[in-house]
Each structure stands twice: as structure tokens, then as C-alpha cells.
């Protein structure tokens, strides 16, 4: 009888141990599955936020390009009207003076266009260098984001992504690509 009670107690202890171990592994697997689901959801939310920021940046760039095109067309019309008027007045005074004025206006417009292009190119080159992972300049990129016409939420998202990725070259490249896309580069 004593041996049977002992065997029964050992059997009960073994069943309890198996249940405890099974419960432990089950709880851990549930936590791992929950963590994986949370990470997946965070990744999907980040991807959705990046896509939304990209779409907003593309729409903003399209608006700005259209506004620049309209401004250039208006300036061209005004310049053409001013040049025509100046040419008529100069033709009345002297044909030679009109020719000289037209050439000077063309040269001045060319010089202004060239200077504006050079300035824009220099700014673009400096920003491109700051956005290159090899020559990354956090202050310059942050200043460019702050100076952009992006929404504040987008600016904050981009700066947070850069800050989170600063110690990982792969993550930094991805974050810089997001900044380039948002800035229309």
C-alpha cells in the first residue's frame, strides 16, 4: 500500500510538472506571437505613414511645379511685352539703339538665368551631399527639412526616422531616401 501511494504521488507530481512546463512554454509562445503581431502592426503603420508622406510630398511638389510654371509663363509674357514696347520706342528713336537694347536685355536675362541656375545648383549640390550616407550632415538635413514646405507632422516623422537610424548605415540610407522623396529629390 505504501508503494502504491508513493507511485501515485510521484505520478501526480510528474503530471503537475508536465502541466507547469507546458503552461510555461504556452505562455512564452503566446507572448512571442503577440510581440510578432505588434512588430508587424508597427511596421505596417510605419509603411503607411511613409507612403502617405511620399504622396503628400509628390502632391506638394506638383503644386509647386505648377505654380512655378505659371509664374514663369507670366514673367515671360511680361518680359515679352516689355521687350516689345522697348523695341517699338527704340525703333522710333533709332534702329541701331533698338538692336543694342534688345541684345543687352537678352544678355541680362541670360546672366540672371545663369546666376539663378548656379545658385539653385549650389544649394541642390550641398543638400545632395548632406543626404548622401557617406557624407551625411545631420544639421544640414534637419535644417533642410525645417526650411521645407512640408507639414509639421511629416517634418517630425522624417526627423524621428533620421534620429532612430543614425547608428545603423542601412537604416540611415533608408531614412535618407525617405527624406529625398519627401523633398522631391
Q: Is this structure's pTM higher than 0.75? A: no
Top pLDDT among 92 and 123 is at 92
Res 63: pLDDT: 87
The answer on 118 and 65 residing in a single domain is yes
| Out of 15-29, 31-45, 103-117, 119-133, least confident range | 103-117
Residue 2's domain comprises: 1-31
The reply to whether 43 falls in a domain is no
The Cα–Cα gap between 126 and 120 comes to 10
Q: Which of 62, 64, 55 is nearest to 154 (CA)?
A: 55
Q: 58 with 25, same domain?
A: no
CA-CA-CA-CA torsion for 79, 89, 87, 83, nearest 10 degrees? 0
Return the higher-pLDDT residue of 159 and 185. 159
User: What is the rounded average pLDDT of the residues 17-39?
Assistant: 89
Spatial distance between the Cα atoms of 7 and 13, rounded to a whole number of angstroms: 10
In a domain, 44, yes or no: no
How many domains does one find in the chain? 2
Q: Does some domain include residue 152?
A: yes
145: in domain = yes
Q: In percent, how much of the chain has pLDDT > 70?
A: 76
CB 175 within 8 A of CB 162: yes
C-alpha–C-alpha distance, residues 145 and 148, integer Å? 5
Q: What are the pLDDT digits (tens) for 42-81?
A: 889 978 887 897 898 778 877 887 887 787 677 667 766 6
Amino acid at each position: 500500500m505504501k508503494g502504491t501511494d508513493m507511485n501515485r504521488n510521484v505520478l501526480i507530481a510528474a503530471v503537475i510538472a508536465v502541466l507547469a512546463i507546458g503552461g510555461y512554454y504556452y505562455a512564452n509562445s503566446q507572448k512571442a506571437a503577440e510581440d510578432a503581431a505588434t512588430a508587424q502592426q508597427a511596421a505596417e503603420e510605419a509603411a503607411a505613414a511613409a507612403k502617405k508622406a511620399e504622396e503628400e510630398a509628390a502632391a506638394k511638389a506638383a503644386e509647386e511645379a505648377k505654380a512655378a510654371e505659371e509664374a514663369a509663363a507670366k514673367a515671360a509674357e511680361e518680359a515679352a511685352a516689355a521687350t516689345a514696347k522697348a523695341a517699338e520706342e527704340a525703333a522710333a528713336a533709332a534702329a541701331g539703339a533698338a538692336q543694342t537694347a534688345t541684345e543687352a536685355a537678352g544678355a541680362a536675362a541670360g546672366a540672371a538665368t545663369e546666376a539663378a541656375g548656379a545658385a539653385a545648383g549650389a544649394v541642390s549640390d550641398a543638400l545632395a551631399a548632406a543626404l548622401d550616407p557617406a557624407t551625411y550632415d545631420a544639421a544640414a538635413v534637419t535644417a533642410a527639412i525645417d526650411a521645407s514646405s512640408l507639414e509639421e507632422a511629416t517634418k517630425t516623422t522624417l526627423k524621428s526616422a533620421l534620429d532612430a537610424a543614425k547608428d545603423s548605415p542601412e537604416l540611415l540610407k533608408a531614412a535618407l531616401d525617405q527624406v529625398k522623396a519627401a523633398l522631391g529629390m
